[in-house]
Amino acid sequence: NAGVMQNPRHLVRRRGQEARLRCSPMKGHSHVYWYRQLPEEGLKFMVYLQKENIIDESGMPKERFSAEFPKEGPSILRIQQVVRGDSAAYFCASSRDRQETQYFGPGTRLLVL
């Protein structure tokens, strides 16, 4: 019974490049959440998606960041033209229903050089 899968686990990008982070929710889960953790801080909500819909993007930076959860395939968090301040751990969580507990993946650690 696989948990939430995230890949890559580590990603190194140079300033100005694009970063694509993938998340496959737990089996039977159709709700996906993305969080970001900066060094020595707690996790901060970014976006909440259901299949093909963005439900809440109140935590997403207005520029360069986008997220999708297509009908088939994993959820993607895309960061265009990365800057050093984007270096962080990005965690994906999933839940079976909107009221259910969120279970987290292992995270993707993004380093921008």
Judged by the rule CB under 8 A, the positions of this chain that interact with other proteins are 4, 6, 31, 33, 35, 40-45, 48, 55-56, 58-59, 91, 93, 95, 98-99, 101-107, 109
Query: Do the bridges between strand 10-13 and strand 108-112 make them parallel or antiparallel, or are there none, so unpaired?
Result: parallel
Alpha carbon dihedral 5, 11, 62, 52, in 10-degree steps, equals: -30
Nearest-5° angle of CA 37, CA 43, CA 46?
A: 90
Q: Note the residue count of the chain.
A: 113
Q: Which is nearer to other proteins, 14 or 39 (CB)?
A: 39
Considering beta carbons, is residue 19 or 92 the nearer one to other proteins? 92
Q: Is 6 helix (H, G, I), strand (E, B) or coil?
A: strand
Is the Cβ of residue 33 or residue 65 nearer to other proteins in the bound state?
33
Type of residue at 94: S
- State in angstroms the smallest separation of the CB of 25 from other proteins: 13
Residue 48 Cβ vs other proteins, minimum distance, rounded to whole Å: 6
50: Cα within 13 Å, side-chain hemisphere: 5
Least separation, in Å, of the C-beta of 81 and other proteins? 26
Nearest to other proteins of 65, 91 (CB atom):
91
